Amino acid sequence: MDELRFAKYNGTGNDFVLISDVENRVRLDERLVAAICDRHRGVGADGLIRVTGAQDADFFMDYYNADGRVAQMCGNGIRCLAKLVYETGLTDERDLAVSTRAGVKHVSLHVEDGRVDRVTVDMGAPSLRRGDLPMEGDPDAKFLGEPVDVNGTTYKGSAVSMGNPHLVLFVDTDPRDIDVESIGSRLEHDRRFPEGTNVEFVTAMEPGLAVRVWERGVGETMACGTGACASLVAAHLAGFVKHRAKVRFLGGILDVDWRRDEGGSVFMTGGVERTFDATFDPAWLRAHVGGATS
């Protein structure tokens, strides 16, 4: 078994294992990814990112949720990827195109003293079409400010796609008082969302929005980049905030700007940190579905 190195990063408390594989040699399977992300027996992470080359962009973000399943996009993860490729010398460019399963995303690096301090991501335009989430019903219809019943309580909810599905629930209290695990776990598998959904619990609170998030295939996380964008879009359409606002999660604050008059893209800016680099024990890898092959 070849040596396999990895790095641990976090963006606003949303943490990831990153494997640099620009030559596209590493092969991962679902059970191995889940084992790596296990917080008791593995490294522990909200997801895993394999960074490799791309034909249509500078890099490809091969992203997996903590349960080992592939996912379309991760806003905080792509910021971590940008920091890794710049600071490890894979690029000296400060504006990058990164291919994802939700299309090519453009990122801008804010560099201080040779280190990436913050990253701005053009997350693309949101979609409100049920067919783009996907969500059952008329594929061209929207789900905005509609009642969502769960655990005996009715919330107003809006469905937004940021390349992945989000159900944004507006709550009348501080999201810290919400039973996110009970509600989020039920709505993640709601029959209306055949591929599951992320769930955000949102209230307007200075300096913008306060949010907690239940991520599909992960559980509650400290932050969610696509969730921040979906929350801003839904809250703006509901009249709670302007097109730009700060979105506060348990892990910190993201600055989100929906440029409706400039092509409709949502831009997200936030900090990112490298925690450590390490090498997997080959024996541990072999014990988990044969490990990674290269």
Catalytic residue among 37, 80, 224, 229: 224
- Residue 206 has a pLDDT of 83
Q: Which of 91-95, 124-128, 204-208, 253-257 has the lowest mean pLDDT?
A: 204-208
pLDDT at 3 over 90: no
pLDDT in tens, 16-40: 999 999 999 999 999 999 999 999 9
**Which tokens hold the place of 281?**
């024990």
pLDDT in tens, 245-254: 999 999 999 9
d(CA 52, CA 262): 31
Spell out the domains of the chain, with CATH numbers in brackets: 5-122+273-287 (3.10.310.10), 130-264 (3.10.310.10)
- Residue 139 has a pLDDT of 98
The CA–CA distances, whole Å, from 221 to 12, 98, 106, 164 equal 10, 23, 24, 16
d(CA 254, CA 225): 8
Catalytic residue among 37, 74, 80, 229: 74
- Residue 293 has a pLDDT of 64
pLDDT at 190 over 60: yes
125 or 289: whose pLDDT is higher?
125
pLDDT > 90: percent of the chain: 92
Would residue 74 show up in a list of annotated catalytic residues for this protein?
Answer: yes
pLDDT > 70: percent of the chain: 97
